Amino acid sequence: MTILLAEDDPLTLEALAACIEDEGFRTLSAADGKQALELWALHRPQLLCLDIMMPGVDGFEVCRRVRATDSTVPILFLSAKNEEADVVVGLGLGADDFIRKPFTRAEVIARIRAALRRVAPENGRVFTMKDLTVRPEALGAERNGRMIELTRREVSMLELLHRHAGKPVSRDAFLDACWGLDYFPDSRTLDQHVLMLRKKVEADPSKPEIIETVRGTGYRFAPAKLRNDFVVPAGGGSPDESE
């Protein structure tokens, strides 16, 4: 999932991109409205986050032109201005929300998630893993009526396991699918993400049933419990230890 960021202050743009990418999203960065429109036309991102005051083409005009061709993509405005008139203009142009400067990382992520949930289709992509219902477009899961927030990368990890249900998924396959071919994480990155994801989605993280460790290979989701001497519990160490 790709988010377009348009902000003429380079430090704000860099910080905003970093915190959003940490949540597993991809970002496209534009230094002004003209570049934002070019990136929008080329890549069609799933959400736009626009500064209002930019040289040349401002955020309002970017929103106006995008809305002329797409009435559904979420658009959030970044603004240091608190005038009610600006909010009214932005909403009138079709913006979904305003994020006022200065903002916190938590607020930005919460507002992005909320905007994406509002346009998330409830379709066949929803799937179950044991007693867990995963809703990819909503970036969340549900167990016994309790909602669990997930990052885009965590959803990708669960999707990969579900797609290969019953079969071990190698560490390289995880890294290629969920981090990208051009990303080279250190050897423990995947293990750390699995550990955090288990805390979210496993009924008992110390006895995982959704993300099983397969020694020497990677991880697996087994819809029905399979007899396999190579499956070890969560505390059994990294899959690399047998090598």
Residue 53 and residue 142 in one domain: no
Residue 180 — very low, low, confident or very high, per pLDDT cuts 50/70/90?
Answer: low
Whether the CB-CB separation of 63 and 97 falls below 8 Å is answered with no
Last residue of a domain, one of 95, 119, 143: 119
196-226 residue pLDDT tens: 999 999 999 999 999 999 999 999 998 865 4
Residue 66 — very low, low, confident or very high, per pLDDT cuts 50/70/90?
Answer: very high
Domain total of the chain: 2
Domain containing 219 — which CATH number? Answer: 1.10.10.10
Burial class of 139 by CB neighbour count within 10 A (0 to 12, 13 to 18, 19+): buried
Residue 115 confidence (pLDDT): 84
Q: Per-residue pLDDT for 9 more than 90?
A: yes
Cα–Cα distances in angstroms (integers) from residue 122 to residues 84, 127, 138, 168, 204, in the given order: 34, 11, 8, 29, 28
Residue 224 confidence (pLDDT): 67
Residue 113 and residue 19 in one domain: yes
Residue 115 and residue 131 in one domain: no
Residue 235 and residue 141 in one domain: yes
Cα–Cα distances in angstroms (integers) from residue 169 to residues 81, 213, 217, 228, in the given order: 49, 10, 7, 15
Residue 238 and residue 131 in one domain: yes
Residue 92 — very low, low, confident or very high, per pLDDT cuts 50/70/90?
Answer: confident
Residue 14 and residue 65 in one domain: yes
How many other CB atoms sit within 10 Å of the CB of residue 223? 13
Last residue of a domain, one of 57, 90, 119: 119
Cα–Cα distances in angstroms (integers) from residue 130 to residues 80, 137, 138, 180, 201, in the given order: 46, 20, 19, 28, 10
Return d(Cα 193, Cα 171) in angstroms, integer: 12
Measured in whole angstroms, the distance separating CA 66 from the mean position of its chain's CA atoms is 22
Last residue of a domain, one of 71, 86, 119: 119
pTM: 0.58
Residue 113 and residue 134 in one domain: no
Residue 91 and residue 115 in one domain: yes
Residue 122 confidence (pLDDT): 45
Residue 97 — very low, low, confident or very high, per pLDDT cuts 50/70/90?
Answer: confident
112-144 residue pLDDT tens: 988 887 776 544 378 999 999 998 878 899 999
Residue 112 and residue 134 in one domain: no
Structural domain containing residue 36: 2-119
Residue 161 and residue 183 in one domain: yes
The type of residue at 234 is A
Query: Which residues 6+ apart lie within 8 Å of 176 measured at CB?
Result: none
Highest mean pLDDT pick, 22-36, 89-103, 170-184: 22-36
Residue 151 and residue 225 in one domain: yes
Return d(Cα 138, Cα 115) in angstroms, integer: 10
Residue 7 and residue 108 in one domain: yes
Q: Per-residue pLDDT for 240 more than 50?
A: no
